[in-house]
Structures are given as C-alpha cells and as structure tokens.
Structure 1
Amino acid sequence: MKKTVTTLADGRELIYYDSRDDVVREAADTRPLDAVSTSSEIRRDPLLGDSVAIASHRQGRIYHPPADECPLCPSREGRQSEIPEADYDVAVFENRFPSLAGDSGRCEVVCFTSDHDASFADLTEERAGLVLEAWTDRTAEFAGLPQVEQVFCFENRGAEIGVTLGHPHGQIYGYPFVTPRTELMLRSMAAHHAKTGGNLFDDVIAREEADGTRIVLATEHWIAFVPYAAHWPYEVHLHPRRRVPDLRDLDEGARTEFPQVYLELLRRFDRIFGPGEPPTPYISAWHQAPFGIPDREDFGLHLELFTIRRTSGKLKFLAGSESGMSVFINDVPPETAAQRLREVASQ
C-alpha cells in the first residue's frame, strides 16, 4: 500500500491509498473554495446523559446530485470534484460538511472506488483489502488526536438509509466522547465479568457456535452470525476469532481473509429478497474500543451489518416503541434470517 497525503483548496486533508507503490499523485485542487466554516456543538442531554451534535451548517450539504456532478468521482476536464486526480483506488478526505469538527471531533469521507456505479460488493478482494488498510490507518491517525475518544468507521448504502450521495463511500467519525451504544456494551461487559469471570464477547461467540442455528458463515479467522436478540430484520455480527480491541490489532491471517468474508456477506445481502429486487439498503458499522478506558483489551472489535428492509418492498420504520422508548420489535426471527442468509450463499 502507498499512502499520499495532500490538501484540498480550502485546506482540508486528502489522502490517497494505492495498491501500487509506483503511483504518483500530483494533481492540485484549483477550485476557488472558501475556508470551511462549521458550527458543530456538543450538547449533553440532562435526562438521558447522552450527547447530541448540533451542526446547522450541514443543512447546505450536497443532496442527490446528478451522476455527472458527483463530488466523489474523479476530476475531469472542465469539472473538478473533491478528488483532483483523474482516477484513484481509495481516497479519504475531511468532510466539507462535518457533523463533528475542531474540539468536537473529526469527520472524514472514505471513497471505496472511482467507479460511480459500483458498490462495495463489486470490489475485488484486493480493493476491499485496501479499504481495510485505509480504515486501519485512519484509526491509528485518529488515536493521536487529543479530542478523539472513539473511532467509528461505517458505510450507509441506499437512499432508504438516507444517503445523500450515490457514489460508493463510507465515513469515519472521531467522537470526543464514548458513544451511548458503546457505553451500554461496556456496562454489559463489566457486569458479565463480575458475574461469571468470563469475557462477554468470547462467551457470546461460544454460545452462538454451540447453538449453531444463527451462524451465517465461519472461517479460520472470522465468524458471522445473526445475534440472538437481533434488533433489525436482517442483522449480522462479524467477529474476528482472535479478540482484539480495534482494527490496528488484527493479525495477518484475519486481514488476509477479511475481504473474502466481507464481500460474501454483502453479496448475500443483495440476494436476500430474490432476483429482480433493487440493491438491499444497509448500514455497516465497525465497533472499536474507545481510547483510554479501563480493561480496553477486553473489548471485542466487531462489525455489525444490517438492513432496514424487512421484506420485498417494505421497510422497517422506527416508530413509537423504537423511537419513543428504544424498545425494538423485530418482525423476522433471527433463526429465520440466518437460514435465509445461508440459503443465498455464493455457489
């Protein structure tokens, strides 16, 4: 992997990740851009104890532009984008409309490919591996920022999810606090250890393997299963078999095997609802240990992949119980979801 760091016309950082070492990235961003002005503010909810990012400047962000005006495509004669080069492998840049900025954290955009019409599932294993290296490198960089306590690498795919740009891309958030979802995991982890003396992540995986009905796929270095109490209609958790706190600690075997495993999961998601169906909308989210917490090594890095589509032509909406009280109601039994995800395996 070759990494090239440069800046955009308004001073934001841009990083190219290339598979070949002989690639030269010298194209300059000559757009007449004003300096980025953000109004991100973190406010604490006194009743729930969680944090909300107030980011009014995001109201003006680009929304579903036509393909020939996509800001994530490579630049071409007569039209410059966020990426000055005429082509690229993987590119990462600071978000022009960040939810978190300055003392409130950092947000970056990760472009998986220069092909506007592709999806992550269309990538080669080599390119998927390069994305993993980019995620890992960015996690390491964020770890050195004093305002960042937790790194979140994720992808939203599909207009139903709320994606505003159709180009295949993800994002990385560097939160200045530990997120509420992670706080709950840490609390459960501590309670489980106090009660059993064991590690929660290890014991969950062991239980799923012993039961077997919710296993989606299992390899030498990775295991994927639908969780026992899945919140979403089709939800898969992917864990490395050797527990590590974040992406930086994955061993070579897990890194080598990840592209094959992850691409297979994404391709199965697109086959859940049968031929002729539009691509399955999904969220893919890496859960990494926050920095500076006690017993950080006990946290289990894992990826959670889920869709809001519950059946053909119907979405799972977060209505009264889910949005009002955070109590999920799942229409698809986890065992049924796992069986379907096994049925649509690549031949």
Structure 2
Amino acid sequence: MNISRLNETSHRRYNPLAGEWVLVSPHRARRPWQGKTEKKEDKSSVQYDPGCYLCPGNERVGGVINPDYKEVYVFDNDFPALLSDEQVSFEDDLFTAKSEKGICRVVCFSPDHGLTLSQMAIDDIKKVVDVWAEQYMMLGAKPGISYVQIFENRGEMMGCSNPHPHGQVWATETVPNEPAKETIMQRQYFEKHGRTLLSDYLTQELKKDERIVIETDHFVVLVPFWAVWPFETMIISKIAIPHLGVMNEEEKVDFAKALGLLTRTYDGLFDVSFPYSAGIHQAPTDGGEYPEWHFHMHFYPPLLRSATVRKFMVGFEMLGNPQRDITPEESTQRLVSVYQSIIK
C-alpha cells in the first residue's frame, strides 16, 4: 500500500523500539476546536533576572549562592526526586514497594537567562554536550547507579519550574521503564539480526525519505513512523554509538549542530519558544554488556495546531493507547518547510 493511503484513514502504527502501538486518525485534524487555549510563550530577551534561582550570583532556595559562572553550570538539585541515603522495603502479596536511591543534578546551559539551545552558537551547545557526556560517565561509574537519564523540560506548558534554560540529570538505582522497554526490544532484534534495530530502521527511513527532517554528517533528525506527539522527532546517530561517552569530538560537534538546527526549526514552526520534553536514551550503566544499544534522543513537543493549542493525552490515550491526529508524514513536511527557510 502507498503511504498516501494511510494519510486518509484511521490506522494503527507499531513502535518496534517500545513494543507498543499508536492510533493515527488523520481526519480528526479537521474537527473544530473550542477547547482550552494556552498563553503564547514568547522568547525571553532578558539576559539576567535578579529573581531567578539559576542566574549567576543569585541565591537559591536554601541559601546557596550560585557562582558567577560563565559557561555551563552543574549542581546537585536542591529538591531531588531521589535520595542517596534512604533504604525502605515493603512487600505483602500484591503490595510491593522498594527504595530507589539516586542522584539528581541541574545543568544550566548558559549564564544568559534568555538563551535557549535554539539561540546558542554550536560551540556553546557543544559545551552542553560535553557536560552531558561527563555526567553520564561520572555518575554511571558510581556504585549502585544503573541508568543516567539526561533530559530537558522546556517551557511552562511542559511544567518547567524555572524559565532559565536548563536541563536535568537523574542517575537511578534501577533502569527506568522507558529505557528498560527499549533495552528488551533492541536486544531481541540484535540477537535475531546481529545489527541494531535503529541501524536498520534508519537505513530504511533514509531510503524512503518520507520522514527525514534534518541530516548532518553523523546524525539524522526524523519524525518516527510511530510518533505519538504531533511534532515528535528523534535524533539518531548514523552509526551504532551506545552512549555519549564514546563519541569523538567531531561527533559531539555534529550532535550539537543537529540540536541547534532542530530547536531552531521548532521555534520557527509557530514563531514561539517551542515547548517540549526531550531526553537522551543510551546504554545502562549497571556494568552489563549492551551491544544492542543505539544512541538516540527523543523530542516530545505538545503543540498541535498553533502556539496556543496543544495536544492532550486524555481519555482513550490514557485508557487505551496513544492517538494522534495529523500523520507523521504531514508533520515532517511542515518541519522540513521551516528548516529549509532557516538555512537559506
């Protein structure tokens, strides 16, 4: 069947990376919208905010004073979701609870309060990538740490508690649900084919050229065939790199370039500081061998029709399985159009 037929009728798409399905309903994009609209999140032009807990020299809650940092700044989260010294356990038939120890850190991308990744120079984004790699290797080497999750929540719509451009690193005692599912699916594929799942997937995507948004020397940005969020994308390394720690300098610069181009494309889609949750998925750090793991980064933006109309995951999405209105191919066309305009 030609892919165009899928743009006209409801259907399900399989996500081989997670072993799950998404319902695609292209016709629903035409329904009238009288629901909630969000406030447009304008791009900040303020370089320093005296009331910001993350700006250089300012006092954080608890009395800690930020240094007058000039580049990327990392510190232990003042309100961590994981504690390092708690040990609890409860088990009673169907009632089971276990402690989860770990380390939570904040990564300020820049001392400039209004400078998001999309506005940063490649060299400065590369410094963020360097810190991510350092944190992955440093935290992953600590006893009892099985996974290092690097992520960013950008914008109020995604629950970001502070507008200063920053991300987080959570190092956990166990492998979290999403990378655990991806480990299982990637391992099954690797054991059967002797190649990584994402290597074969990327080869097919490049051949079809229906969902490719950006291609650099070492990375490809695409809208996954199984994308759930309206303008969801994924950055995939062209070769099967298992984690940031083995990237060479050229690959890190190129990854920074892909990050800059993608985030600029997002901002240009609705002329807004585009909200999203994004995170890197890479090999666990529990000491095991993971030849099946292929480095990639997910971007999950909530916006659907405009800067003020978002996609809600409710009802069937919560009780059945995820559903999207516009097809991944239509999303790709719109993102590519913006990308081509920004590189002219």
- Report the TM-score when normalising by structure 2: 0.76
Q: What's 2:80 paired with?
A: 98
The answer for unaligned runs of 5 or more in structure 2 is 1-47, 86-100
Deviations along 1:15-59, one digit per CA (max 9) or x if unpaired, are: xxxxxxxxxxxxxxxxxxxxxxxxxxxxxxxxxxxxxxxxxxxxx
Is 1:251 matched up with 2:228? no
Is 1:110 matched up with 2:76? no
Deviations along 1:75-131, one digit per CA (max 9) or x if unpaired, are: 169x99755333421100000100012051110000011111221211111110110
Q: What's 1:329 paired with?
A: 323
1:309 aligned residue (292, 296, 303): 303
1:85 aligned residue (43, 67, 70): 67
Deviations along 1:203-230, one digit per CA (max 9) or x if unpaired, are: 1111111111101111221111110010
CA distance in 1, matches of 2:105, 2:325: 34
Is 1:137 matched up with 2:134? yes
Local SS of the residue matching 2:206: helix
Q: Which amino acid aligns with 1:68?
A: P
1:107-186 map, 5 Å: 107-186=104-183
CA distance in 2, matches of 1:116, 1:167: 5
> Are the equivalent residues in 2 in contact too, given 1:75–1:81 (CA < 8 A)?
no
CA distance in 1, matches of 2:238, 2:65: 37
> How many corresponding residue pairs?
277
> Are the equivalent residues in 2 in contact too, given 1:74–1:81 (CA < 8 A)?
no
Q: CA deviation at 1:316?
A: 1.1
> Are the equivalent residues in 1 in contact too, given 2:148–2:169 (CA < 8 A)?
yes
Which gives a bigger RCO, structure 1 or 2 (Cα 8 Å, sep 6+)? 2
Change (3 A) 1:331 1:80: same
CA distance in 2, matches of 1:75, 1:332: 45
Q: What's 2:315 paired with?
A: 320
Q: CA deviation at 1:256?
A: 2.1
CA distance in 2, matches of 1:310, 1:263: 22
Change (3 A) 1:173 1:80: closer
Local SS of the residue matching 1:69: coil
CA distance in 2, matches of 1:76, 1:111: 13
Q: What's 2:23 paired with?
A: none
Q: What's 2:32 paired with?
A: none
> Are the equivalent residues in 2 in contact too, given 1:107–1:173 (CA < 8 A)?
yes
Change (3 A) 1:82 1:170: farther
Local SS of the residue matching 1:204: helix
Is 1:280 matched up with 2:274? yes
Local SS of the residue matching 1:237: strand
Q: What's 2:200 paired with?
A: 203
> Are the equivalent residues in 2 in contact too, given 1:245–1:296 (CA < 8 A)?
yes
Local SS of the residue matching 2:329: helix
> Are the equivalent residues in 1 in contact too, given 2:242–2:282 (CA < 8 A)?
yes
> Are the equivalent residues in 1 in contact too, given 2:123–2:253 (CA < 8 A)?
no
> Are the equivalent residues in 1 in contact too, given 2:104–2:171 (CA < 8 A)?
yes
CA distance in 1, matches of 2:259, 2:144: 31
Local SS of the residue matching 1:270: helix
CA distance in 1, matches of 2:316, 2:191: 31
Q: CA deviation at 1:251?
A: 2.1
- Percent same amino acid at aligned positions? 29
Q: CA deviation at 1:143?
A: 1.3
> Are the equivalent residues in 1 in contact too, given 2:117–2:259 (CA < 8 A)?
no
Local SS of the residue matching 1:234: coil
- Report the TM-score when normalising by structure 1: 0.75
Change (3 A) 1:114 1:183: same
